[in-house]
């Protein structure tokens, strides 16, 4: 074998060796695997993420968004204190008392009219001229039924409606001793959970089947049907939820630090300003389960339950919120977590009338 033959042979191998060496370097750097990783990540995404929202829900979402997106505005929830109402009693306001005739007769705010919950749509359409008033104040015993009604009315476009915080319980102690002062409790503090729970898989919104073709028509139909159905099914007690926590998809509508301090077993936290009207968030709320929503006082959760029920979810606000099961803890951590426990400090001594 001659020297010239060997030199020619090595020249032939050089390009091959170079290619093999470069390939080895790329392989070690991981560059050759990147396309495969991207492909496997895409394949691992859950199929539920591609679930589409039904047409009626889409139309209602769009209508609410274009009409002001109330649930994501600074006005949500629309609550007013008793002291603010007192200052405006002689102004252009209307106070609507949703309590029973018997409760109304025992005592009500001067000038308040007693209207049955089911008759509110007709009252707003045929009895008063809502937009000629500065404020319309909805009143009940505890502030939660009025919050539920106010949420629906605001979503319907009545932007001057407010719920009286704490209801008549905040107006005078004569009413508070029959409601709020009776229900505050710490009986489930020992059963609070600290574990963070995950959400359910994405699914379509409920099928409302209103038969209407536009968002405005769907809104009106749902609004009227919810008032016609009354409010009894829109609320649930803490006893029922704690008694069978696995029977509900429980939503904690609070800040994360409050959730982390202790929540109802199985509860999932949803952001107070990042859930309603946001498709990706609402898709994780099951349509085949009762949904229990709670907050600190029951006011905010009543607003939330109204919105969810508008879309067909079987949502129920937990009466009196955390006050009904962890009142002592709320008092203890009031400054640290900005809790709002109901105490005598929330009760005014304003006069009322009887008839």
- Which of 183, 206, 225 is the C-terminal boundary of a domain? 183
- List pLDDT tens digits, range 69-94: 999 999 999 999 999 999 999 999 99
Instruction: Clarify whether residues 143 and 203 are in a common domain.
Output: no
Instruction: Clarify whether residues 138 and 198 are in a common domain.
Output: no
- List pLDDT tens digits, range 222-277: 999 999 999 999 999 999 999 999 999 999 999 999 999 999 999 999 999 999 99
pLDDT higher than threshold 90 for residue 38: no
How does residue 20 score in pLDDT terms, banded at 50, 70 and 90?
Answer: very low
> Which residue intervals of the chain are DSSP H helices?
3-29, 34-44, 55-66, 82-87, 101-106, 120-122, 144-155, 173-176, 180-183, 215-228, 238-243, 256-260, 279-282, 299-310, 327-332, 334-337
Domain-embedded: residue 214: yes
Q: How many other C-beta atoms can be found within 10 angstroms of the C-beta atom of residue 125?
A: 10
Whole-angstrom Cα distance, residue 79 to residue 163? 5
Instruction: Clarify whether residues 331 and 195 are in a common domain.
Output: yes
Domain-embedded: residue 151: yes
> Where residue 171 sits, what CATH number does that domain have?
3.40.250.10
Mention every residue, 6+ apart, whose C-beta is less than 8 A from residue 276.
Answer: 71, 72, 282, 304, 307, 308
Domain-embedded: residue 257: yes
Instruction: Clarify whether residues 201 and 102 are in a common domain.
Output: no
Instruction: Clarify whether residues 209 and 261 are in a common domain.
Output: yes
Domain-embedded: residue 1: no
Domain that holds residue 209: 189-337
CA 224 to chain centre: 21
97, 114 in Cβ contact below 8 A?
yes
Place of tokens 């009543």: 302
Instruction: Clarify whether residues 220 and 331 are in a common domain.
Output: yes
Residues pairing with 164 in the sheet:
80
Instruction: Clarify whether residues 319 and 208 are in a common domain.
Output: yes
Whole-angstrom Cα distance, residue 40 to residue 343? 56
Instruction: Clarify whether residues 205 and 242 are in a common domain.
Output: yes
Domain-embedded: residue 133: yes
pLDDT of 50 reads: 78
Domain-embedded: residue 100: yes
pLDDT of 39 reads: 34
Instruction: Give the percent of the chain with pLDDT over 70.
Output: 86
- List pLDDT tens digits, range 45-64: 344 457 899 999 999 999 99
Instruction: Clarify whether residues 136 and 208 are in a common domain.
Output: no
Domain-embedded: residue 167: yes
């Amino acid at each position: 074998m001659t020297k010239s033959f060997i030199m020619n042979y090595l020249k032939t191998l050089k390009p091959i060796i170079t290619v093999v060496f470069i390939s080895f370097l790329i392989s070690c750097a991981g560059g050759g695997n990147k396309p495969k990783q991207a492909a496997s990540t895409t394949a691992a995404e859950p199929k539920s993420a591609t679930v589409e929202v039904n047409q009626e829900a889409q139309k209602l979402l769009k209508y609410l968004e274009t009409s002001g997106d109330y649930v994501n505005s600074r006005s949500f929830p629309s609550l007013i204190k008793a002291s603010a109402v007192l200052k405006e009693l002689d102004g252009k306001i209307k106070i609507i008392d949703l309590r029973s005739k018997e409760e109304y007769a025992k005592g009500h705010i001067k000038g308040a009219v007693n209207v049955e919950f089911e008759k509110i749509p007709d009252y707003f359409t045929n009895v008063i001229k809502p937009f000629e008033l500065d404020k319309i104040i909805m009143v009940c015993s505890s502030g939660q039924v009025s919050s539920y009604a106010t949420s629906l009315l605001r979503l319907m476009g009545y932007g001057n409606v407010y719920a009286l915080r704490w209801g008549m319980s905040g107006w005078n102690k004569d009413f508070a001793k029959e409601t709020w002062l009776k229900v505050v409790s710490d009986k489930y503090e020992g059963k609070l959970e600290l574990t963070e729970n995950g959400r359910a898989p994405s699914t379509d919104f409920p099928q409302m089947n209103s038969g209407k073709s536009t968002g405005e028509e769907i809104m009106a139909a749902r609004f009227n049907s919810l008032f016609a159905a009354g409010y009894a099914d829109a609320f649930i007690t803490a006893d029922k939820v704690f008694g069978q926590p696995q029977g509900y998809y429980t939503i904690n509508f609070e800040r994360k630090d409050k959730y982390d301090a202790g929540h109802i077993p199985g509860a999932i936290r949803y952001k107070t300003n990042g859930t309603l009207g946001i498709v990706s968030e609402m898709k994780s709320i099951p349509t085949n389960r009762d949904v229990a929503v709670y907050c600190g006082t029951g006011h905010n959760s009543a607003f939330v339950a109204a919105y969810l029920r508008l879309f067909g979810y079987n949502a129920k606000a937990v009466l009196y919120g955390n006050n009904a099961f962890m009142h002592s803890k709320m008092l203890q951590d009031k400054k640290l977590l900005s809790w709002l426990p109901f105490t005598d400090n929330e009760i005014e001594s304003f006069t009322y009338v009887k008839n």
